[in-house]
A and B are shown apart, each in its own frame.
Chain A
Amino acid sequence: MVATLVRLRFLVLRNSLKRSTWQLVAVVIGAIYGLGILGLVVAALIGLGFAPVELASTALILGGSVLVVGWILVPLIAFGVEQTLEPARLVVFPLSMKQLLVGLTVTGILGVPGIVTSIAVLATFATWLREPLAAVAAVIGGAVGVLICVIGSRTVAALSTSLQSNRRFRELGGILIFIPLILLGPIITWVSQGVATSADALPQLARALSWSPLGAPWSVAADVAIGDWGPAAAKLGISLATVAVLVLIWRRSLAVALVTPPASSAKRVAKGKTGLFGILPATPAGAIAARCLTYWRRDPRYARQLIIVPLVPVFLAIYSGNMGSLVLLNLTGPLIAFVLALALYTDISYDGTAFATHLADGVRGIDDRLGRLWALSVIAVPVILLGTFIPVAITDSWASLPMLLGLAVAVYLTGLGVSAVSSSRIVIPVPQAGDNPFKSAPGAGFSTMLSGFATWGVTMALCLPAIVLAILSVVFDSVLYGWLTLAAGLVVGAIAFVIGLRMGAAQLDRRGPDLLARLKRMRSA
């Protein structure tokens, strides 16, 4: 049965690649990139075999801990949890919970990230080759470590699903609860950086981590190498206990998720209450803006894009702290502008086939574009302004304000222009409305990343004049260049915005039906 599940997973992958050449290209590029990194890591691990034991164990424990954190957090922030074999779809088959858990774990290990991780972990065998017993311990500890990674990420996925099926968490709240979880990483880094103010403290940090679930599996071999049998056994115990606890939580939340279908929100308003439709102008663009804003509020897939907003100042504050001054914090506004302007680079994907409404109702491309950007701006502009003014007030650097505003304006308007074009062209597989917003749609990963980076790159390139002026104003400490940045930002941004809007609108008028055809294909994917 487990073998059948594994075969099914690869069959789904193969068939979804067959449907789209671009996705295949993206996967090949991703594979080459991944193989390159894997090669480097394996080489480094072999190289560590010739380094002092202290250094090797410190590097392994720190690296391993980052790996575990990455496995658990990256899906939440970036790609969504890969769920080709969604437990909910398997529920109609007579599978015992045990078979289901084993099957999902094995398919998780045999996915691309799982294989890469396993190979890297096997390479630690080479690191400890000088102490054959330690080398064996490295493989055993490493295997448990891989299990922690895979099961940990599945547990988080199941948890987010079962939270989803709880009505209270379905809307914005479901997203907000993940903010502290995501912040956990930076906070740990922050705290540990306080401890480890210099490189000398890294071994200490590693030693501390080696007693935590994050580092324990990777430190078994290190203890064996120096003959500390007691701690080695203890750490193996900690690792196994971690796996056991994770399985327990996973099993519980999966059991809940499987018998609790996403609850209907059963939200009702009185008749005659059309909400934002009664407030925004009664034009096609106004109606689209009202619809989008309603979705920003009701559909967690949109809210998910806002998670990043509170994270920007936190990350910047952490890095500023490292540099000993709060200057970086000033970049909050422009960075939020960048992230939010491009949040909708593939907006129509989120509509899904409901986009047919716009086609059937004869909506002009320009109204479609304007409505969506309007809705985004209602949210983004106040946030960006706050993100620009508050840090300047905190750091009392009012002289930089024109420069920062210029950057924010340039980035935001250009980003809107670029999104207007890209979202009339690119549709990517996204979770359907009502799905777990953290789920990655089948076969999304690499192609999503690729098109995302492309739009980021184009936006950056178009903003270059403003960015260069901003850098000059910092380098020469010049207020004049700051004002020039503001002027350039307004001009460049306005031009990019208008051109982008027109290109996007024309494209949508011409190719709208083709977009719908692709959305339909994707939905059945």
Chain B
Amino acid sequence: MSDPTPPSASAPAPAPAPAVPAPAAHAPSDHPAMQLNRLSKRFGDKVAVDDLSLTVPVGSFYGMVGPNGAGKTTTLSMATGLLHPDAGQSLIHGVDLWAEPLKAKALIGNLSDGVKLFDRLTGEQLVTYNGLLFGLDRDEVAERVADLLKLLDLESAAGTLVVDYSAGMTKKIALACALVHAPRLLVLDEPFESVDPVSAANIRDILTGYVQNGGTVIVSSHVMDLVQRMCDHVAVVANGRVLVAGTVDEVRDGSTLEDRFVDLVGGRTHAEGPEWLRRS
């Protein structure tokens, strides 16, 4: 893929970074940021999500890990209103998402995996579009878009069509779209996939700052190491169920998260591959 602008790795270290976006101020409440009650989804014969319940406390940095096909994306889609659950509930700060979708969705910033963006817009247009869809006024959108582009080091690519972005830049612009309305809960499906290490570290700082300001973040990822360093809570999901959930220290139980994960999920093999493949 062509990369019309230099990757951020080669850019000089950003001078005083713009303020990390803070979630909109709100009256404190005792509802968890997200509560999933017995969510289920089946596709034909395959049960993708099986009676899954999960509670994400306010102010937590929550990691969701699991093998491919574990049902992470399906779960997050149902939690954020992109997919009708067969059964179950998703409460966002106490608002039942499937009963009051517009109210609940206004609280969520969503970066979903496996869907496209309106990529014939420029990066700046795309973030503006998302801001306007959330009902922000024009001046406010313009200000926030400028801040976000600066924060994510996308200023030089602001006027480029998103379709011409590299995979990592696309993730970053999608993150900007999720942040523009200052949500109280960020739901990020595979936010670090194909993001270069420097950008990943920047994104991590942004998310950490966001949590320190009272926001809640849920990320799904395959990268155990990242989750262990970044998150304070983690849930291990396999076959559409939560195998274990809690604080990272509880879950890893003295071992590393990766080893615990392999123990829980199983399926590790030590084969060297078929004989014909070893010859080449």
Contact = CB atoms under 8 A, between A and B. Distances in A.
A513 B83 contact: yes
Nearest to B105: A362
A263 to B, nearest CB: 9
Interface of B: 2, 4, 80-84, 101-102, 104-106, 108, 110, 112, 114-122, 124-125, 128-130, 132-138, 141-142, 146, 149, 155, 158-161, 163-164, 177, 181
Contacts of B81: 359-360, 362, 513
A199 interface: no
A520 B115 contact: yes
A331 to B, nearest CB: 34
Contacts of A267: 160-161, 164
A23 B133 CA distance: 34
29 contacts: A264-B4, A266-B160, A266-B164, A268-B4, A268-B122, A271-B149, A271-B159, A272-B146, A274-B124, A282-B136, A283-B132, A284-B134, A287-B129, A290-B129, A291-B118, A354-B115, A354-B118, A356-B115, A357-B118, A357-B129, A359-B81, A360-B82, A360-B105, A362-B104, A363-B133, A513-B82, A513-B84, A516-B83, A517-B83
B113 to A, nearest CB: 10
Contact of A271 (B112, B132, B155): B155
A330 B145 CA distance: 49
Contacts of B112: 356, 360
Nearest to A295: B120
Contacts of A269: 122, 159
Contacts of B155: 271
Contacts of A363: 133
Given A266-B4, A271-B159, 19 more contacts: A265-B163, A267-B160, A274-B124, A274-B142, A275-B122, A282-B137, A291-B118, A291-B125, A295-B118, A353-B114, A354-B115, A357-B117, A359-B81, A360-B108, A360-B112, A362-B81, A433-B163, A509-B101, A513-B81
Q: Which of A271, A275, A294, A295 has the most CB of B within 10 A?
A: A271
Interface in A244-290: 264-275, 277-278, 282-284, 286-288, 290
Q: Summarize A's interface: helix, strand, loop or mixed.
A: helix
Given A264-B164, A275-B125, A360-B80, A299 B133 contact: no
B159 A270 contact: yes
Nearest to B85: A513
A200 interface: no
B118 A362 contact: no
B124 A353 contact: no
A361 interface: yes
Contacts of A271: 124, 149, 155, 158-159
Contact of A277 (B84, B119, B128): B128
A296 to B, nearest CB: 10
